[in-house]
Structure 1
Amino acid sequence: MDVSEILAEHAAKQQAVVVEKEIPLEVDAGFLTVTDPNPIDEESYKADLEDYLMSTARDGVQTLIATLFSLPITSSQDGPLAQLPPPTTQLPRAKPLPKPKPLTKWEQFAKAKGISHRKKEKKTWDEEKQEWVDRWGWKGANKKEEVQWLTPIPANADVDFDPAKKVRDERKARVEKNQKQQEKNVARAQQSGSTSAPAPPTAQRKREIDRTVATTRMSTASMGRFDRKLDGEKKLKGIKRKFDPTEVSSQAEQSQNMAILSKLGREPETKKSRTSSEVLNVRKAVRFASKGKGSAALARDANSKKGKKVKR
């Protein structure tokens, strides 16, 4: 018996097992999924949940296998292979479709004039090196005139004329101009209401300034409460207090109480030079009694008081 006969016999067995329900099962062979649109039988569901779930899953698997064996099947070294059709179920998107990116000023002009955009390659051929080099970036072809060993100088050039510096300044000026044009395009896209455009540098700078102002407010003695408010300044959001839950477990409550008791029975911390019995700071007491004059002055005052006669 060859493979085709085995497949035919197995397909006949699968067709013999027909799942009959009020609403036919929806099978998507492309995704290998079966959907049961029938309502749940509440009586069977409550009587034996496990048996109900097993029977529902069995019906779906039998229907899916029968559908697979009805598809074109080919034999291979790993066994019979079924050619799945394209999926028919439309899966939902996790996020909405992105809005189209707004055209830049040059793209609008090129579209109006019918100018086609020709994308330049990232690599260009260098005749001197006889190899492909980057068109831009580090050691790019756009910096060739800055590092070449021989550069012609105009006849009316100044004595301190530097051709490499002149080319480098021109390149930096072009880069700065492109950055300004890009910022204008982003600002124009923000005004048009497009959410796909990135935030302009001005908005980022505004957030940095707001953060700096908020930090400065909190550095004052009143924590910014009595400072003069600026026009359009938003109210600072304070730190929310965190409270312990009113209902805790007996173990947590016991550990909290034991921690408090351990703190109450702990001896006060003292310096190394002072023992636990020496509660009085002698040097500080002498300095206070002598009004800062020292122990010698205090002894002299005591002797002078003893030598005086007391009148009766």
Structure 2
Amino acid sequence: MDVSDILAERAEKQKSIAVEREIPLETDTGLLTVTDLNPIDLESYNEDLEAFLQSNARDGVQALLNALFALPSTPSPDGPVAKLPPPITQLPRAKPLPKPKPLTKWEKFAKEKGISHRKREKAVWDEEKQEWVNRWGWKGKNKELEEQWLAEVPANADTDHDPSKIARKERKTRVAKNERQMAQNVARAQGESATSGPSTREQRKNEINRTLATSRVSTASMGRFDKVLEGEKKSKGLKRKFEPAEAPVEQEKAANLALIQRMEKEPRQKKAKKDTVDGVLNVRKAIRATSGGRGSVALGKSLKGGRTKGKSRR
């Protein structure tokens, strides 16, 4: 192979690597993207679609590889390593950027005082069981006093003193307090400042009380045995009234007869449907108007006699 053949081979190789387009391809190495702004050649597109797409994809990948190998690189056991530059293309977003989450009352206080927050682990070490247990939830460490089989009872305690029930009530009180504070944080995050007018402040207070009342009745006992917090008002609601299980015979007989009479009565809606023909003519009303309010019998007699009794109507 002479020198001319070597030069021709190198030129052919460089030609296969170089990507020449009428409009140069836009390469963003930071996002590893290539944008082709050239118009589509309809003749090549219609002639062989698959070959046309493969050719464009090959040129785009080749342009991206050329840009990547042009970056400064450092050698490594796996080959040269290059650091990608920051992206230069602004990609559109389907939705706006999320707003920063407002700070809670404790987070604001900790930020002002310089208190660093440390996230508590979900699992804690139990010395008695010698294993990791959940801090909250099922078989949680916070229910230890409720589930233990032996508990210390004070000397001056009542006869019905139950440490497990007391521990459970205290835990439920803490849960209700946390829910109330969470509702306050949600109301504060909605943009209602502490210096707002009395109407807005009263509205926020009512919303918090309503949320607390809803969470109260979500328990199995409908909040009947939950401890009332300090300053919390008793929730008002409709009280269901039940008839006594035992009643006099006369009263029960009268109630049953009244029920039967109500069942035998024909509803007014059904009467109106019977009186209507095709939803246009009200027969009962027409008879009442023609007979002067005397009914269908009087109307029949008057028609046989040749005249209508009663007031004449026009």
**What TM-score comes out, normalization by structure 2 length?**
0.47
**What TM-score comes out, normalization by structure 1 length?**
0.47
The structure showing larger relative contact order (alpha-carbon pairs under 8 Å, at least 6 residues apart) is: 1
